[in-house]
Structure 1
Amino acid sequence: MAVRSGAAGGARRLRWAARLLPWAVGLLAGVLALGPALGPGYVLRYDMVFVPDLSPGTVLEGADGFPRAVPSDVVVAALSGVLPGDAVQALALLAVFAVGGAGASVLFARAWAGGGPVRAGTLAASAAAGLAYVWNPFVAERLLLGQWAVLLGYAGLPWVVGAVVRSAELRPGAGFAGVVRALVPAAVGGFSSVVLTGLTAGPVALLGTRRAPGGAPPGAGGPGGHRWARTGLFLAALVTVALPWLLPSLTSGAGTDPAGVEAFAARSDTPFGTAVSLLLLGGVWNSGAVPAGYGEPVTAAVRLLLCLAALAGWAWLLRRGRPPFGAGLSAAAAAGLAIALLGATAPGRELLGWLVGLWPGFGVLRDGQLYVAPLALVQALGLGAAVLWLSGSSVAGEGGAPPRGLPVAGAVRSPGGDGPPPAGGSRPEPAGLWRMVLAVFAGLLPVVTLPGLLWGAGGALAPADYPASWLEAQRAVAGDGRPGAVLVLPWSAYRGIDWSGRPTVVLDPATRLFDRRTVWNDDLVVGTPDGGAVVVTGEDARAREVAGLLRPDPGTGLPERLDPGVLAGAGVRYVAVTAPVDNQFWSGVDGLSVVVEGADMVLLEVQDQHIKADKATISGLEVTGGLVTVGAIIWSMARSGSSLVFQCLGPSSGSGARKEIPK
């Protein structure tokens, strides 16, 4: 009886560890990676712009281009109503690591154990999978690009894969609710996140099969059927969460510049060329987003070995564990790598340019490196499998269930099972100890091969406070109830700021600082490897119109003189000059008054009573779409009474319990 009671207690402790360990791994990785970025102040870098008191009006009255950032900015604006903006940013960044690490960890445990007993070896391997998923070049480079919303969608990919597989075992309503709930990170992430989720989970829905009891593949008429119904259900859920940006994009009239194909094509960031760089989950188009030390020959070579070991582990997992999402996720990884490679070849660039010219929506394919995300999930799960094999915990039968009579390292025997572990099991053999040490080392290799991500990416993610003049300008505009937009000068999208004591490039924060429409130059200048530059024309038609009226100097981004009548005719009430300028082009101009004047912020007011009011930028159809998405998410949460958190890795109990992939 004492033995049975001890075994039951050990099983209970492992079940709790199975609930908490995945989240602990993700949170610990997030703290180590972000470091100072979690402290007071705002981390401003490239596309990552958080501001104090972000207004919903700023989001809903944004530029006339594709509304890529609408969902993420709406969520940030809502949270900023109850929390300081820098706290919202810290939570968003930490969520990337927590949700992603936990998702990959849970997905691996289910892929191997299949809902069977919780085992210590499986927990260790699943922790390695979770760490590998959030600590790799893809995450580091996207983080250094400031694309936190894309990373949030990336973090949700394992949950969506699990929910799609589980939907095959549930009634349509419950399956739809589970998929919608898992799509919450992608819904917040917006345009790119939803597209990336479709690429990753679509093939899983189409090709995935349910593992039958005992691990045997289902027959032709078994429970693995209905793939078309499962695919349709997934697509319906994907469209539902995409409505907040999908509906505005249909009427935006925005265009996409084919020049972006060359500008955003994947590039080599290792000594092995572009193709291998992508295989290693790197290859970002911006050299400023490559972590320190990543491209060195030694670290790149070790990273290559780690990648090959992970792919070998994935092949082993497909053969031994036979996860129900194996074929679909493999197809998604291969397709994603193929898309990423398109921009790296001349014929591929021609094809992409032709597609973008045919329909602007194909512009989403320009940033090729984005599509290695499914490969990152494959490699993370493969590394978990490699750690499981190295630790000696992989003595398993079909579907990952240990065969009767065979001891498994770290296994906890439940009452009524095969009895207690053999005597002496608490003293491992020397060979087993070395295997465990090697497995731990392999599990930590993602950190060893990418030290540049540690502690705020080596200081690159340092927080800073907004200067007092910026906050004063924000309050002045917020206190004016009259209509009119804010024109942001100099006429360039990005600024070099050094508020944190470390110079960095960031999208001008003034584009989100004010509670009304801002007009700014959304053209993007991207350097090429040969020292040249590619100008990618922006999507905002109103910005192009204003540029034609101002005729700013290409070198300085400043007009020779401001004409209040022209500004009023363009609907501009304020002009924000957000960089130190020598030429005070507003001096002596009648009809302009200085509201705020600081070292790097000057706010000018256009004194004209006939400023054209901004047109309504959000229609009833768009409002309805947003309400449908929010309503579907709330319904999905209520439908199951749970969320993404605390999914149990062990078998369900009670009548009618089934072994299922977690949502």
Structure 2
Amino acid sequence: MGERTRHLVAALTGLGLGLAALGPGLAPGFVLSYDMVFVPDPAFTDLTFGMTGIVPRHVPSDAFVTALAAVVPADIVQKLVLLAVFVMASTSAASLVPSRRLLPRLAAGVCYAWNPFVAERLLLGQWALLLGYAALPWVVAAAARVDEPGGGRRLVRTLLPAAVGGFAALTVTGITALAVALTTGRARGRAGLQVVAAVVLLSLPWLVPGALRPAGLPGDGAAVDLFASRADTPFGTLGSLLLLGGVWNGETVPRGYGAPVTATVWLLVVVIALIAYWKWGRQPVWWRGAAVAAVVGFVIAALGAVAAPVLEALIGLWPGFAVLRDGQQYVAPLAVVIAVGVGVAADRAAEARWPGVAAAATAVPVFLLPTLAWGAAGELRAVQYPDGWARARQIIDRDPEQGDVLVLPWASYRSYAWNHGRRVLDPLPRYLHRRVIVDDAVIVDGTTVPQEDPRAVRLTPIAKSGAPPAAALRDEGIRYVVVDAETGAIRPSGAAVEVMRSADLVVYRIDGVAEVAGERVPAAPVAAAWGIVSLVVIWSILAPGTTLSLPLLGSTKARSPQHRRRTP
């Protein structure tokens, strides 16, 4: 069986896993869950590029989706992106296993694409982070050879999914790539600099608007405990992280996960995988670097849980360290090591003429986490936006008068009846093509993480008054007030005109809105950042020897020597 055929089978296996995992989410409509917000007919706005003054966590992933939605309906784009996560995860992990046998590679691919980390981040709606996770094994291989001819181009290509994912995906991927580069090869210093340069350049679309926002970088050290990893198995927080779980949000733990019996079996699988990786996985050039990355990632993941004051002090020194608060996401490189370890263990079993063990290894992750199937046991279902939303957008977007939109009640996450009560980040800022102000404070276990949008901070006293005065809203540049109809009789007081009412939304218009100077990010530096990134991407794709069939990996001649191994 040829190398390309093995890649194809691994990709088809990932596609099958994706179809099984998404289930009802593949029906017409959108899957809306926590941070996963896709809307019909998205448009390029200042928000898309992070120029409204809010923290640009959605950059450049929103731009990527908007560009694709110009060609394919937005709900189809969402399904393709989510399926791509499983396809890339299976294919990339399978490619790292130093064996020509198919079953060991598939065992690694299944383990990497179907595990607690993927399940919990999918339920949390962090599809952009999962894009970077899916390509992480390719990054490991590329970072280990970045100092070779063409290595920089190859690294940039493997970083593209994380670059699309944005700041969290690139942070996790960048730390992994740097750990591999600094522990592999001879010119480690030069390799490390190349990794840093590649990550920084690809980060410019979100790094520039984040650095130039007038309010500066937010960093609340008091929120460390809220987003720290938590136990979701009987083995405590550290044990849960070792098993690739431990997400901070208990509502996004898959049903039934963490039961003593299945958790114990999964722990046994992980221990065997780690032993196999250390004992038999030393052939590839990147094996030590991947192990170092896994250890570094695990330490970061555990930091908020076991040494919160340290992380709080770091955030106090520089607010940018707040990116480390959500610790569980940093076990991603550990997932690479575990997946490769499962593959190596299956390969040794095949060498010992135990093909049944190798075949069973491909099914164990699915068997131990069956509730990821069928849309995470029905949690992830496709829904249609109500007709009232489309009417509201038509009224608001066609209005030639200036002014922004305020959304009430004053909260960041919604639980709409038409979304089966599933909690989701308010979609209106992306759904409408005007500047939309919502309360971006986050409440976790009764504790509030402060707002980051300066407009929201200013409007909070007015918005929380129950009946915000239209005159005060007019002075703050608010043209429309949109109210969730399900919440009751909230409405602005004074000269506000009701222009639409449906079962889901009520829209009020305020005339004579004053022009308000917002905390905008200048367009020129943002455009320059996108221009630089575009040139870097073109430079990497147009490299000599790049093939169309493997656009992320480039020529197979530059890959790891793992494929030279002969099968006994």
TM-score, length-scaled by structure 1: 0.81
- Does 1:468 find its partner at 2:374? no
Q: Partner of 2:170 in structure 1?
A: 194
Structure 1 segments of 4+ aligned residues over 4 angstroms from their partners: 613-616, 646-652, 657-662
- Does 1:546 find its partner at 2:459? yes
Deviates more, 1:477-486 or 1:336-345: 477-486
- Does 1:523 find its partner at 2:441? yes
User: What are the within-5 Å matches in structure 2 for residues 125-274 of structure 1?
Assistant: 125-170=104-149, 174-209=150-185, 225-252=186-213, 253-274=216-237
- Partners of 1:460 and 1:659 in 2: CA distance: 40
- Partners of 2:423 and 2:324 in 1: CA distance: 25
- Partners of 1:648 and 1:629 in 2: CA distance: 19
The answer (yes or no) to whether the contact 2:52–2:519 under 8 Å persists in 1 is: no
- Partners of 2:343 and 2:434 in 1: CA distance: 48
3-state SS of the aligned residue for 1:593? strand
Q: CA deviation at 1:590?
A: 4.0
Q: Partner of 1:622 in structure 2?
A: 526
How many residue pairs end up in the alignment? Answer: 559
Same amino acid, percent of matched pairs: 42
Q: CA deviation at 1:616?
A: 4.6
3-state SS of the aligned residue for 2:30? coil
User: What are the within-5 Å matches in structure 2 for residues 462-611 of structure 1?
Assistant: 462-500=381-419, 502-527=420-445, 533-550=446-463, 552=464, 559-586=465-492, 589-611=493-515
Q: Partner of 1:28 in structure 2?
A: 16
3-state SS of the aligned residue for 2:182? helix
- Partners of 1:436 and 1:79 in 2: CA distance: 43
Cα 1:93–1:599 change in 2 (3 A) is same
- Partners of 2:559 and 2:481 in 1: CA distance: 62
The answer (yes or no) to whether the contact 2:89–2:133 under 8 Å persists in 1 is: yes
Residue number among 44, 51, 59 corresponding to 1:56 in the alignment? 44
Residue number among 380, 385, 390 corresponding to 2:349 in the alignment? 390
The answer (yes or no) to whether the contact 2:541–2:551 under 8 Å persists in 1 is: no
The answer (yes or no) to whether the contact 2:291–2:337 under 8 Å persists in 1 is: yes
- Partners of 2:371 and 2:554 in 1: CA distance: 33
The answer (yes or no) to whether the contact 1:15–1:648 under 8 Å persists in 2 is: no
Deviates more, 1:285-294 or 1:64-73: 64-73
Cα 1:439–1:600 change in 2 (3 A) is same
Residue number among 540, 550, 561 corresponding to 1:645 in the alignment? 550
The answer (yes or no) to whether the contact 1:572–1:611 under 8 Å persists in 2 is: no
Q: CA deviation at 1:564?
A: 2.2
- Does 1:354 find its partner at 2:330? no
Cα 1:454–1:227 change in 2 (3 A) is same
Larger radius of gyration: 1
- Partners of 2:26 and 2:535 in 1: CA distance: 32
The answer (yes or no) to whether the contact 1:269–1:295 under 8 Å persists in 2 is: yes
Q: Deviations over 1:150-175 (max 9, x none)?
A: 101111211111222233331xxx22
Structure 2 unaligned regions, length at least 5: 564-568
User: What are the within-5 Å matches in structure 2 for residues 408-487 of structure 1?
Assistant: 432=353, 435-487=354-406
Q: Deviations over 1:154-197 (max 9, x none)?
A: 11211111222233331xxx222111111110110000011101
The answer (yes or no) to whether the contact 1:182–1:644 under 8 Å persists in 2 is: no
- Partners of 2:220 and 2:520 in 1: CA distance: 26
Q: CA deviation at 1:649?
A: 12
The answer (yes or no) to whether the contact 2:18–2:86 under 8 Å persists in 1 is: yes
3-state SS of the aligned residue for 1:639? coil
3-state SS of the aligned residue for 1:538? coil
Cα 1:201–1:286 change in 2 (3 A) is same
- Does 1:105 find its partner at 2:66? no
Which residue identity lines up with residue 37 of structure 2 in the other structure? V
Q: Partner of 2:566 in structure 1?
A: none
Which residue identity lines up with residue 246 of structure 1 in the other structure? L
Deviates more, 1:157-166 or 1:142-151: 157-166
Which residue identity lines up with residue 501 of structure 2 in the other structure? E
TM-score, length-scaled by structure 2: 0.94
Which residue identity lines up with residue 550 of structure 2 in the other structure? V
3-state SS of the aligned residue for 1:595? strand
The answer (yes or no) to whether the contact 1:65–1:254 under 8 Å persists in 2 is: no
User: What are the within-5 Å matches in structure 2 for residues 321-340 of structure 1?
Assistant: 321=283, 323-340=284-301
Which residue identity lines up with residue 602 of structure 1 in the other structure? V
The answer (yes or no) to whether the contact 2:184–2:289 under 8 Å persists in 1 is: yes
Q: CA deviation at 1:576?
A: 1.2
Which residue identity lines up with residue 334 of structure 2 in the other structure? L
Q: CA deviation at 1:482?
A: 2.7
- Partners of 1:615 and 1:272 in 2: CA distance: 47
- Partners of 1:239 and 1:374 in 2: CA distance: 20
Q: Deviations over 1:614-635 (max 9, x none)?
A: 5653421111011111221122
Q: CA deviation at 1:645?
A: 3.1
- Partners of 1:14 and 1:61 in 2: CA distance: 45
3-state SS of the aligned residue for 1:60? coil
Cα 1:311–1:104 change in 2 (3 A) is same
The answer (yes or no) to whether the contact 1:330–1:378 under 8 Å persists in 2 is: yes
Q: Deviations over 1:491-511 (max 9, x none)?
A: 0111112324x3211111112
User: What are the within-5 Å matches in structure 2 for residues 6-85 of structure 1?
Assistant: 13-57=1-45, 58-60=47-49, 64-85=53-74
- Partners of 2:235 and 2:519 in 1: CA distance: 52
Q: CA deviation at 1:358?
A: 2.2
Structure 1 unaligned regions, length at least 5: 1-12, 114-118, 210-224, 394-431, 528-532, 553-558
Residue number among 504, 525, 535 corresponding to 1:631 in the alignment? 535
